[in-house]
């Protein structure tokens, strides 16, 4: 099949996306397909119309590519594509909206607050006190959208009001709102979900992530050489692994996700855990977390990519309804 891989775009995660595109292109070529990589920019609609691919494989991350905008374009062009539809993509991209859906389904979450502006300098101390009262002594400041740990700051019990202002300013420079969450001490674990040909979501083996470049799984740990160690399956008690897998499937269903997703967790020493977020388009290089977990289950990367494009092509297309005439 002719497969259009879409990558890049106006996002701080564009280079991560392009790395995924190279990985997917190689895997699809190995599986016997004809991949073409296109950039997410203003020329994309014309390029897609000219290419008329059999299927589209988005590997975009961040604004426009992962938040439902690209998916809406593909719906308008009536092109089958890998991954979640418009609504599920938009929900997953907005961490606060996702948390609302997760809470409605009873999933375990950290307490959180959303702020859309930096308080005035004279109000920072009071704001910090209020946040500590609601979120605890340590909390995380992150963009409401986006990923790859870009713009994330952990504020400890000794953080000053100025540090809060600086953290909020960094987030609001790249996003319209900041999500502040209670800091959970524990291991970082992620769990992919891959749907069957019948559309039934099933969890892949969870992966335990050990950051090496920093004390937590930051951007350097995610993408720097030797920045982290991935243990898959995660060396956790079987009962904990099963609950994580069940929760990953529940998160996938809660947002109405499709084809694939990857949910991130923090797991305490006691085995309790919280859901951090769901990635509707997880990284797709050969060494990314999702393909690693698929490989641990015996699904090679070319087989995984082939399976995803074939499922997208086989999916029923959107019904084209005839317009209803206005009354005379």
* CATH class assigned to 112-182: alpha beta
What is the edge-to-edge ordering of all strands in the sheet holding 34-39?
Answer: 34-39, 2-7, 55-58
Where in the chain do CATH 3.30.470.20 domains reside? 92-107+185-280
Nearest to 224 by CA among 275, 149, 155: 149
pTM, full prediction:
0.91
Determine the Cα–Cα distance for residues 268 and 262; give it in Å rounded to an integer.
Answer: 19
Give catalytic status of residue 279 as yes or no: yes
User: 92-107+185-280 falls under which CATH superfamily?
Assistant: ATP-grasp fold, B domain (3.30.470.20)
Asked whether 195 and 215 are in contact (CB, 8 A), the reply is no
Determine the Cα–Cα distance for residues 247 and 264; give it in Å rounded to an integer.
Answer: 10
Determine the Cα–Cα distance for residues 4 and 124; give it in Å rounded to an integer.
Answer: 48
Domain 2-83 sits in CATH at 3.40.50.20
Q: How far is CA 32 from CA 35, 252, 283, in A?
A: 9, 30, 22
Catalytic residue among 17, 84, 89, 148: 148
Catalytic residue among 18, 243, 258, 262: 262
Q: How far is CA 147 from CA 75, 88, 279, 285, 296, in A?
A: 24, 16, 9, 16, 25
Give catalytic status of residue 264 as yes or no: yes
Determine the Cα–Cα distance for residues 15 and 25; give it in Å rounded to an integer.
Answer: 15
CA angle 215, 220, 225 (to 5 degrees): 110
Name the token pair of 117. Answer: 């502006």
Give catalytic status of residue 83 as yes or no: no
Name the token pair of 273. Answer: 């855990």
Chain-centroid distance of CA 243 in Å reads 20
Give catalytic status of residue 13 as yes or no: yes
Determine the Cα–Cα distance for residues 77 and 319; give it in Å rounded to an integer.
Answer: 13
Where in the chain do CATH 3.40.50.20 domains reside? 2-83
Give catalytic status of residue 30 as yes or no: no
Give catalytic status of residue 223 as yes or no: yes
Asked whether 292 and 232 are in contact (CB, 8 A), the reply is yes
Where in the chain do CATH 3.30.1490.20 domains reside? 112-182
Per-residue pLDDT of the chain (328 residues; tens, 9 = 90+): 999 999 998 887 888 899 999 999 999 999 999 999 999 999 999 999 999 999 999 999 888 999 999 999 999 999 999 999 999 999 999 999 999 999 999 999 999 999 988 888 889 999 999 999 999 989 999 988 866 567 788 998 899 999 999 999 998 888 889 999 999 999 999 999 999 988 999 999 999 998 775 665 555 555 556 667 899 999 999 999 999 999 999 999 999 999 999 999 999 999 999 999 999 999 998 778 999 999 999 999 999 999 999 999 999 887 777 888 888 8
Long-range contacts made by residues 30-36, C-beta under 8 angstroms, separation at least 24?
A: 30/302, 31/302, 31/303, 31/305, 31/306, 32/306, 33/1, 33/2, 33/3, 33/306, 33/309, 34/1, 34/2, 34/3, 35/3, 35/4, 35/5, 36/2, 36/3, 36/4, 36/5
Catalytic residue among 228, 257, 279, 288: 279
Give catalytic status of residue 52 as yes or no: no
């Amino acid at each position: 099949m002719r497969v259009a891989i879409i990558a890049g775009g106006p996002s701080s995660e564009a280079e991560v996306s392009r790395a995924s595109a190279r990985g997917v292109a190689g895997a699809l070529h190995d599986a016997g397909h004809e991949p073409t990589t296109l950039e997410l920019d203003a020329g994309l609609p014309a390029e897609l119309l000219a290419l008329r691919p059999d299927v589209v494989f988005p590997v975009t991350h961040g604004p426009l590519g992962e938040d439902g905008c690209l998916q809406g374009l593909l719906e308008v062009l009536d092109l089958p594509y890998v991954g979640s539809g418009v609504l599920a993509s938009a929900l997953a991209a907005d961490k606060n909206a996702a948390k609302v859906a997760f809470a409605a389904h009873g999933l375990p979450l950290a307490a959180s607050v959303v702020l859309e502006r930096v308080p005035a300098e004279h109000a920072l101390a009071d704001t910090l006190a209020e946040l500590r009262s609601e979120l605890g002594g340590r909390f995380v400041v992150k963009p409401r959208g986006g990923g790859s740990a870009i713009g994330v700051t952990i504020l400890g019990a000794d953080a000053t009001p100025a540090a809060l202002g600086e953290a909020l300013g960094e987030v609001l420079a790249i996003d319209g709102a900041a999500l502040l969450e209670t800091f959970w001490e524990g291991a970082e674990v992620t769990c992919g979900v891959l749907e069957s040909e019948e559309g039934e979501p099933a969890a892949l083996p969870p992966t335990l992530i050990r950051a090496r470049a920093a004390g937590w799984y930051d951007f350097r740990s995610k993408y720097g050489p030797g920045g982290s160690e991935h243990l898959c399956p995660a060396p956790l008690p079987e009962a904990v692994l099963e609950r994580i897998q069940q929760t990953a499937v529940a998160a996938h269903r809660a947002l109405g996700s499709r084809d694939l997703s990857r949910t991130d967790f923090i797991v305490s020493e006691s085995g309790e855990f919280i859901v951090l977020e769901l990635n509707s388009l997880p990284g797709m290089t050969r060494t990314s977390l999702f393909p690693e977990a698929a490989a641990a289950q015996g699904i090679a990367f070319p087989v995984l990519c082939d399976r995803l494009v074939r499922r997208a092509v086989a999916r029923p297309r959107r019904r084209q309804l005839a317009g209803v005439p206005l009354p005379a």
